[in-house]
Amino acid sequence: MIRIIDYGLGNIQAFLNVYKRLGIPAERAAEPAALEGARHVILPGVGAFDRAMSLFDASGFRAPVERLIAETEVRVLGICVGMQMLSEGSDEGQLPGLGWVPGRVRQIDSLKKAKGLPMPHMGWNDVEARGGAMLFDGLDDLRFYFLHSYYFECQNEANSLATAEYGDRFSCAVSNGHVYGVQFHPEKSHHWGQALLRNFALI
Amino acid sequence: MLRPRIIPTLLVHQGGLVKTVGFKDPKYVGDPINAVKIFNEKEADELVVLDIDATVNGAEPDYRMIANLAAECRMPLCYGGGINTVTQAERIISLGVEKVALSAAAIERPALLTEIAERIGRQSVVAIIDVRRRTGMFRKGLEVTTRNATRAHSMTPGELSEELERAGAGEIVINSVDRDGTKAGYDLELAAEIRERVKVPLTILGGAGSLDDIAELIGTCGTVGASAGSLFVFKGGLRAVLINYPASEKKDQICAEGFARYRA
């Protein structure tokens, strides 16, 4: 059973729809107790970093998820701002991030070659995955839908699972242990996204 | 690389899908949910749904319809029509829509875009500018209109695009009133002018009659959103309804042709 955390942000229905089509059980976790025994948890997110962090902190989900990460084999997947929240912090806001993946969120504009390009980065972008990354297993000709102005700058190259090029290359998928994050929107990326969400369920 | 976006725009009128010509004479073309299902199968890049009744009737957005569309839609969805408060925009995003589009309300009060962007992020805020070319004796040149082209505004499309970008729009859509439904090709001159003036992603709507028109638009603007109504809902000259969308290989070919012209 995939649990999608509902802390007031993000398109939870879209994930439920994809998993329904895949025949994989998934449900909305509207309260922390719903995470009991979870093996797979999705952390969605849209909008501004501070707003997402403060809603998540206020939701009561944070401590139980951290406990699951520390004590169990739970797999966590952050999506879009949900991925950015995994960092130590973002140039977009003041609040600290969750610190589950070492790195910091920067403005795409700060990438030298991305200056002058249309911003936000919006649309379908080719993605290059690192060999052996299970999230991208069995997928080729990778492309996903992006809608963002900030990106995840990994502290260690080893945490980067895939990159996209917009002016410069940046990490668009990260992992640390069983915590994963993707900057793009798999729930809105047709068969590529569907395959990625299936892979996540199988990890 | 970032690919150009090829985007069907669907108009909702009295609960059904319609296609207009010059913003007039809505012709019924089918059921919105059914169209979304077909565009899912065809893996369309994005979808824009505009309720053309809501603003002129002073009605609230139809949240039930929006929720149904969002639940069905497997591609990014942009909704426009009748949005004039932050609360409405937030509610629509919470239904699973990626972007909200505003026109009249934003043009009449650009600060509304700022307020909405603060809540949902500017990447989800779209400003649509309906533009008409006046060719009369006394009124010549480009004119911005709102409320289904029944009201004119004094700012030029270029000035207004810049102002709405400053206010908080994360995307500008330029919709040509005269080209709407004509399949006569995009207004490339207008597209080029706006591309020069704004830094946010730009989408052009109105006039696309063939995939070559899309290549031509990419040839003019580079990476751009190419949107169309008639092209994706009609087949052939008799305007027979047939929802269609280019296959992936075809799309790649159009983009490659467009970029070759852009670089030339």
- What single-letter DSSP state applies at residue B232? H
What's the mean per-residue pLDDT of chain A? 95
Q: Where residue B107 falls among pLDDT bands split at 50, 70, 90?
A: very high
Q: So what's the pLDDT on residue A106? A: 97
Q: How confident is the model at residue A46 (pLDDT cuts 50, 70, 90)?
A: confident
Angle subtended at Cα B22 by Cα B83 and Cα B197, rounded to the nearest 5 degrees: 65
Rounded CA-CA distance B169/B116 in Å is 9
Position A170 confidence tier, pLDDT thresholds 50, 70, 90 = very high
CA atoms of A56 and A32, how far apart (whole Å): 11
- Nearest CA of chain B to the CA of A160: how many Å? 18
Beta-bridge partner residues of A27: A3
Per CATH, the number for B5-263 is 3.20.20.70
State yes or no: pLDDT of A102 exceeds 80.
yes
Q: Which two tokens stand for residue A38?
A: 């979870």
**SS3 of residue B234 by DSSP:** strand
Whether the pLDDT of residue B181 is over 90: the answer is: yes
What is the residue-wise DSSP string for A39-97?
Answer: SEEEE---S-HHHHHHHHHHHT-HHHHHHHHHHS--EEEEETHHHHTTSSBBTT-SSB-
Q: Can you tell me the distance from the alpha carbon of A65 to that of A53, in angstroms, rounded to the nearest whole number?
A: 14
Exposed/middle/buried for residue B214 (C-beta within 10 Å: 0-12, 13-18, 19+) = buried
> Under an 8 Å CB criterion, which residues of B touch A?
1-5, 40, 43, 45-46, 70-76, 93, 95-96, 98-99, 118-124, 170-171, 199-202, 223, 225
Q: Where are the domains of chain B?
A: 5-263
pLDDT of B10 over the 80 cut: yes
- Give the DSSP letter of residue B112: H
Query: B24 exposed, middle or buried (CB, 10 Å; 0-12, 13-18, 19+)?
Result: exposed
With helix as H, strand as E and coil as C, how does B21-72 read?
ECCEEEEEEECHHHHHHHHHHCCCCCEEEEECCHHHHCCCCCHHHHHHHHHH
Q: Chain B interface, mutation test: which of A6, A79, A124, most B Cβ atoms within 10 Å?
A: A124
Given pLDDT bands bounded at 50, 70 and 90, which one contains residue B264? confident
Whether the per-residue pLDDT at B138 is higher than 80: the answer is: no
Mean pLDDT of B149-178: 96
Residues of A with CB under 8 A from a CB of B: 11-14, 17-18, 46-48, 51, 116, 118-126, 143, 145-149, 165-166, 185, 188, 190-191
Percent over 70 (pLDDT), chain B: 100
Q: Report the pLDDT value the prediction gives residue B136, as an integer from 0 to 100.
A: 82
pTM over 0.80: yes
For chain A, percent of residues with pLDDT exceeding 70: 100
- Looking from the CA of B192 toward its CB, the CA atoms found within 13 Å total 8
Average pLDDT over residues B183-205: 97
Predicted pLDDT of residue A13: 85
Name the nearest CA neighbour of B68 among B114, B22, B46, B35. Answer: B35
Cβ distance A118 to B4 less than 8 Å, yes or no, reads: no
CA dist B104 → A176, B44, B144 (Å): 47, 27, 10
- pLDDT of A48 strictly over 80: yes
Q: Which of B4-18, B112-126, B186-200, B233-247 has the lowest mean pLDDT?
A: B233-247
Range B30-52 average pLDDT: 97
- Give the pLDDT confidence score for residue B8 in this predicted structure: 98
Which residues are CB-contacts of A181 (< 8 A; sequence separation ≥ 6)?
A77, A78, A79, A82, A83, A84, A86, A101, A152, A173, A174, A175
pLDDT of residue A91: 96
Domains parsed from chain A with CATH numbers:
2-202 (3.40.50.880)
A124 with B1: Cβ contact below 8 A: no
pLDDT band at B236 (very low <50, low <70, confident <90, very high): confident
My answer on whether omega of the bond before B26 falls inside 30° of 0, hence cis, is no
Residues B60, B247: Cα–Cα separation, whole Å: 36
**Mean pLDDT (whole number) for B5-28:** 97
**What is the pLDDT averaged over residues A128-147?**
95
Size of interface A-B (CB pairs under 8 A): 90
- Contact (CB, 8 A) for B176 and B206: yes
Confirm whether A148 is a catalytic residue: no
- HEC secondary structure over A133-188: CHHHCCCCCCEEEEEECEEEEECCHHHEEEEEEECEEEEEEEEECCEEEECCCHHH
* Structure letter (DSSP) for residue B236: T
Is A88 part of the annotated catalytic residue set? no
Give residue A39's identity as a one-letter amino acid code. Answer: R
| pLDDT tens-digit readout, A63-101 | 999 999 999 999 999 999 999 999 999 999 999 999 999
Q: What is the average per-residue pLDDT within B94-107? A: 94
Query: Where residue B57 falls among pLDDT bands split at 50, 70, 90?
Result: very high
Q: If DSSP codes are grouped into helix, strand and coil, which group holds residue A100?
A: coil
Neighbours of A10 (CB within 10 A): 27
CA distances in angstroms from A27 to A5, A18, A38, A102, listed in the order given = 9, 12, 11, 29
